[in-house]
């Protein structure tokens, strides 16, 4: 409809620009490590003047190296990790009669909304941290140990489509796992200020071992993507059957504000809902509170369209969102690995460090808790 949908989901009227902090920490000699969210590769070139849906993954990696980052990693890796943890938590709740429907927890604006307007429903939220925070935790522990660094030697930065991620990384329970969050618009500004000829940059590769993500992780950037990624893994884990050509769950896709779908997984018909935009989230919270939502799993993303419509991107319209959507689904189709549990680096980190999903170590590093923020509205 051409309606402008740029939003600040946490309601912060002035969004702090953190680019100076990146330069300060680089000058202070910190080991600069950055992760890039799934939708950033879809949205960055547009913020620099190219047409919506222009994918520029390799150029962004190269630009970040030129800016001075020692390692450039892909948040797609930790999106895969999120699916392993959140998917296993979902199955545990199903098997053991835990609180259902389970809500996704990777959108910090939604988490804060739930803490403020639905504290009675907090047991429904998955305890899995967001991919940004899971990555931060792994960088300051596993990665630091491998590199022979102390956590305070590292400055962990993330480039996100999102202004709410700046709030999330400062939550006390997240420690200093992510030190600085910059948005797509801020990174575009850094690239321009540094005089980098972005359009003519050669592609560069992400660093290993956290530079590989699946197609399932890639679609985290769009409404319905987290649900689709989770279903790809949960289906195969429960049934032991490969999805093969039925990998794309088109029933959870689309821009309708509230969507629902059912999927036969073994003996169980799993009923899911997908919600984007906080006005729609409010409606679903009410349904759950009244016991009228017979879903098992609900994905909520605060921004219209999901992260491709996040407030840290260039201004958004529905037409631009459609171009970004097409690009993100194409990226999924282009990737050789399209299911989170098949990411070999995810398998490796469980083997070497975490043990298994929901292990004690995973709980310590990859899960969190929530608080009531009801006071904020008194």
Q: Known catalytic residues?
A: 86, 89, 106, 126, 165, 168, 173, 307
Cα separation, 44 vs 53, in Å, equals 9
- Unique residue bearing structure tokens 């006390």: 172
CB-based burial of residue 339 (10 Å sphere; 0-12 exposed, 13-18 middle, 19+ buried)? buried
Q: For residues 369 and 173, is the Cβ–Cβ distance under 8 A? A: yes
- Tell whether residue 328 is a contact of ligand SF4 (CB under 6 A): no
Given 196, 303, 327, 365, the residue binding ligand SF4 (CB under 6 A): 303
Nearest CB to ligand SF4, comparing residues 60 and 91: 60
Interface with ligand SF4 in residues 330-369 (CB under 6 A): none
- CB of 240: closest distance to ligand SF4 in angstroms? 33
- Tell whether residue 280 is a contact of ligand SF4 (CB under 6 A): no
* Pattern 201-220, ligand SF4, x by CB under 6 A: --------------------
* Pattern 70-109, ligand SF4, x by CB under 6 A: -------------------------------------x-x
CB-based burial of residue 375 (10 Å sphere; 0-12 exposed, 13-18 middle, 19+ buried)? exposed
Q: For residues 263, 266, 270 and 276, what is the CA-based torsion angle, rounded to 10 degrees?
A: -60
- CB of 270: closest distance to ligand SF4 in angstroms? 23
Residues 6+ apart with CB under 8 A from 263: 231, 235, 249, 251, 269, 270, 272
Nearest CB to ligand SF4, comparing residues 31 and 130: 130
Counting Cα atoms < 13 Å in the Cβ hemisphere of 281 gives 27
Q: Regarding beta strands 102-103 and 297-301, do their DSSP bridges make them parallel or antiparallel, or are they unpaired?
A: parallel
DSSP, collapsed to helix, strand or coil, labels residue 186 as: helix
* Pattern 8-37, ligand SF4, x by CB under 6 A: -x----------------------------
DSSP, collapsed to helix, strand or coil, labels residue 35 as: strand
Nearest CB to ligand SF4, comparing residues 87 and 108: 108
Nearest CB to ligand SF4, comparing residues 17 and 356: 17
Nearest CB to ligand SF4, comparing residues 91 and 303: 303
Q: Which residue is nearest to ligand SF4 (CB)?
A: 310
Q: Is the dihedral of CA 114, 117, 122, 124 positive or negative?
A: negative
Q: Regarding beta strands 258-265 and 268-276, do their DSSP bridges make them parallel or antiparallel, or are they unpaired?
A: antiparallel
- Tell whether residue 316 is a contact of ligand SF4 (CB under 6 A): no
- CB of 221: closest distance to ligand SF4 in angstroms? 8
Residue 211: CB atoms within 10 A of its CB come to 18
CB-based burial of residue 21 (10 Å sphere; 0-12 exposed, 13-18 middle, 19+ buried)? middle
**What backbone torsions phi and psi does residue 161 show, to the nearest 5 degrees?**
-85, 10
195: left (phi > 0), else alpha (psi -120 to 50), else beta? left
Cα separation, 64 vs 72, in Å, equals 7
Q: Which residues pair with 102 in a beta bridge?
A: 297
Nearest CB to ligand SF4, comparing residues 92 and 373: 373
Count of residues of this chain found to bind ligand SF4 when the rule CB under 6 A is applied? 13
| Interface segment toward ligand SF4; rule CB under 6 A; list 121-129, 256-264, 301-309, 320-328 | 301-309
- CB of 311: closest distance to ligand SF4 in angstroms? 7
- CB of 38: closest distance to ligand SF4 in angstroms? 10
Interface with ligand SF4 in residues 163-182 (CB under 6 A): 164-165
Q: Give, as one character, the DSSP assignment of residue 139.
A: I
| Interface segment toward ligand SF4; rule CB under 6 A; list 58-66, 160-168, 323-331, 356-364 | 160-168
Cα separation, 177 vs 160, in Å, equals 15
Given 162, 184, 187, 278, the residue binding ligand SF4 (CB under 6 A): 162
Residues that bind ligand SF4 (CB under 6 A): 9, 107, 109, 161-162, 164-165, 301-303, 306-307, 310
């Amino acid at each position: 409809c051409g309606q402008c949908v740029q939003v600040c989901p946490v309601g912060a009227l002035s969004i702090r620009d953190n680019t100076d902090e990146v330069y300060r920490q680089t000058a202070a000699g910190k080991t600069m490590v950055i992760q890039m969210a799934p939708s950033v590769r879809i949205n960055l070139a547009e913020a620099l003047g190219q047409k919506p849906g222009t994918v520029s993954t390799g150029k962004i990696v190269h630009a970040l190296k030129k800016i001075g980052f020692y390692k450039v990693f892909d948040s797609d890796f930790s999106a895969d990790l999120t699916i392993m943890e959140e998917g296993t938590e979902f199955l545990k709740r199903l098997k053991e009669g835990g609180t259902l429907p389970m809500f996704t927890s990777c959108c910090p604006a939604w988490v804060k909304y739930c803490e403020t307007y639905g504290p009675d429903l907090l047991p429904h939220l998955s305890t899995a941290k967001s991919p940004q925070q899971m990555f931060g935790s792994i960088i300051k522990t596993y990665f630091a140990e491998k590199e022979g660094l102390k956590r305070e030697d590292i400055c962990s930065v993330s480039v996100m489509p999102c202004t709410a991620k700046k709030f999330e990384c400062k939550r006390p329970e997240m420690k200093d796992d992510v030190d600085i969050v910059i948005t797509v618009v801020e990174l575009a500004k850094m690239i321009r200020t540094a005089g980098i000829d972005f359009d003519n940059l050669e592609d560069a590769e992400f660093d290993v071992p956290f530079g590989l993500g699946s197609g399932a992780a890639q679609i985290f950037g769009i409404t319905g993507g987290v649900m689709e990624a989770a279903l790809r893994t949960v289906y195969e884990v429960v049934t032991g059957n490969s999805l093969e050509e039925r990998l794309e769950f088109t029933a959870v896709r689309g821009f309708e504000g509230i969507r629902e779908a059912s999927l036969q997984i073994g003996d169980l018909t799993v009923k899911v809902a997908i919600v984007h935009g906080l006005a729609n989230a409010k409606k679903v919270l009410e349904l759950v509170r009244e016991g009228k939502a017979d879903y098992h799993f609900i994905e909520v993303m605060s921004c219209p369209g999901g992260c491709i419509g996040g407030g840290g991107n260039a201004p958004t319209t529905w037409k631009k969102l459609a171009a970004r959507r097409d690009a993100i689904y194409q990226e999924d189709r282009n990737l050789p690995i399209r299911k989170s549990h098949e990411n070999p680096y995810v398998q490796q980190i469980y083997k070497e460090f975490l043990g298994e999903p929901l292990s004690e170590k995973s709980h310590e590093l990859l899960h969190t808790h929530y608080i009531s923020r009801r006071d904020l509205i008194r």
